[in-house]
Amino acid sequence: MGFQAPRGTADLLLGQAYALNCMERQAQAVFARYGYDLIETPTFEQLDVFVRGIGEATDVVGKEMFRVFSPAALAKLGEGRALKADEMLALRPEQTAGVARAVVQHNLVPPGATAVKFWYKGSMFRAERPQMGRLREFHQVGAECLGAAEPSADAEVIIMLMRFFEACGIPREAMRLYVNSMGDAACRPAYRDQVRAFIVAHADDLCAECVRRADTNPLRAFDCKASTCQAIMADAPRITDMLCEDCATHYAQVKGLLDDADIAYEENPRLVRGLDYYTRTVFEVQVDAGLGSQNAIGGGGRYDGLLQEFGGKPTPGLGFAVGLERIQLVLRALGTDAAATPALAVYVAATGADTRTAAFSLAQRLRDANLATELDHQGRSLKSQLRQADKSGARLAVIVGSDELATGSVVVRDLTTHEEEKVVLEDVVRAIETRLVDDVQ
């Protein structure tokens, strides 16, 4: 068997890459309305960025990291020597940690500064067991707002997320927005202790993984897929009953602002999300159509302690990320997956070898005039070129024949009506533009 794309990765073919690109452009358009600026951070970072940022006890860091080794680092490992921290690298499983690292490194949010807002797009890598909607390389767009602690920032981020999904074509009624508050350093430790005690008390009935994680990350038991664990954890203590006054007020204000903005949501006190950096507000958008068990199309939350993990001053922050492949699956299931490769405007056909050079230079003229144009390079017959033109989706064909060329003209053929018209070669760009404009009107 020949080479295959690695397990859990995908070649984006037949308009899929273009569909992803369309979503990225939607993100750019929507996020720009909220003042977000594009940021790029490296695809791989020092391993510690993820360990510190996301948390050692999370699945993402503990089980799903792809490590990256330079040849020199590999040689050192081969000799049994330890690697230095900056030689231990990993592909990013998400981008929030990288953005936070960059913000601290470049001091982008000095104390007292107005909030900065970044959005990003790109591949993320997680060594998960592949299944529908769960890939090892997948594409996210995300947004991070740094420097704003107020509930209005939370509401704004959530509203922007919903507007993005709507702009992609997912109807509001197909989505469920879940919100919760995870508390903060004041109230969460006591809550974790209670959940830990609850797990220990039910250890005989919970799965071994939930029991094992009771010490390191007890809240993960809420995300266990085993139905017995889910049934038991339904009776576990709820964070929302234990929020300190500041967190309770913050949460109430976020919900109030969402109500005012007519954003429908459901409170889910068991929504804990799989990354350790969250404080206070967390949210996730789920759908029923097309995704099976991987039904989260996006999620995020507040992380007021994250920048300090990278040596920054205390700086509040929050954001979200969405999975583009999952949006594509949802749109397909809803039958609204309209994305296709950009339409061609013109197909230039040559009647024979003697007019191919003229056809070639005409195609360049059309492209330079911003018209998407295709032509045959393989010397096919006119009939086969016109068949190709029909298949290509182009609106018009220009036929470059030797008789017409001798009189300085070409034939423009409407590929829908099959009407033909002789046009002076010099005027052909204008003639085509006029026809395409007429089409739009």
- Give me the residues that bind ligand HAM (CB under 6 A), please: 94, 96, 126, 128, 133-135, 138, 140, 142, 144, 274-275, 296-301, 319-323, 325-326
What are the beta bridge partners of residue 400?
350
Provide the 8-state DSSP code for 387.
Answer: H
CA neighbours closer than 13 Å in the CB half-sphere of residue 14: 2
* Nearest residue (CB) to ligand HAM, 38 versus 201: 38
The strand pair at 67-68 and 89-91 is best described as: antiparallel
Nearer to ligand HAM, 121 or 134 (CB): 134
> To the nearest whole angstrom, how small is the minimum distance from the Cβ of residue 337 to ligand HAM?
17
For residue 266, the 8-state DSSP code is: E
Structure tokens at 327: 């949006």
Tell me the two tokens of residue 194: 């209670």
Residue 280 or 326: the one with the smaller Cβ distance to ligand HAM is 326
Q: Select 302 or 413, whichever has its Cβ closest to ligand HAM.
A: 302
Minimum separation from the CB atom of position 128 to ligand HAM (A): 5
Q: Which is nearer to ligand HAM, 188 or 395 (CB)?
A: 188
Provide, rounded to whole angstroms, the least separation between the CB of residue 430 and ligand HAM. Answer: 47
Q: Least Å distance between CB 184 and ligand HAM?
A: 16
- Contact status, residue 438 vs residue 432, Cβ threshold 8 Å: no
DSSP structural state of residue 359 = H
Q: Which is nearer to ligand HAM, 96 or 385 (CB)?
A: 96
d(CA 223, CA 206): 13
Rounded to a whole number of angstroms, the minimum distance from the CB of residue 142 to ligand HAM is 5
Give me the residue whose beta carbon is nearest to ligand HAM.
Answer: 323
What are the tokens at 123?
Answer: 């591949």
Q: Give the three-class secondary structure for 235.
A: coil
How far, in whole angstroms, is CA 332 from its chain's centroid? 17
CB 242 within 8 A of CB 194: yes
d(C-alpha 423, C-alpha 433), whole Å? 13
Minimum CB separation from ligand HAM for residue 230, in Å? 19
Least distance from ligand HAM to the Cβ atom of residue 83, Å:
26
Cα–Cα distance for residue pair 16/22, rounded to 1 Å: 10
Work out how close the CB of 166 gets to ligand HAM at its nearest, in angstroms, rounded to a whole number.
Answer: 16
Joined tokens for residue 277 = 């950096």
Residue count of the chain: 441
Cα-Cα-Cα-Cα dihedral of 225, 226, 227, 230, to 10°? -70
Cβ nearer to ligand HAM, comparing 24 with 94: 94
268 or 385: CB nearest ligand HAM: 268
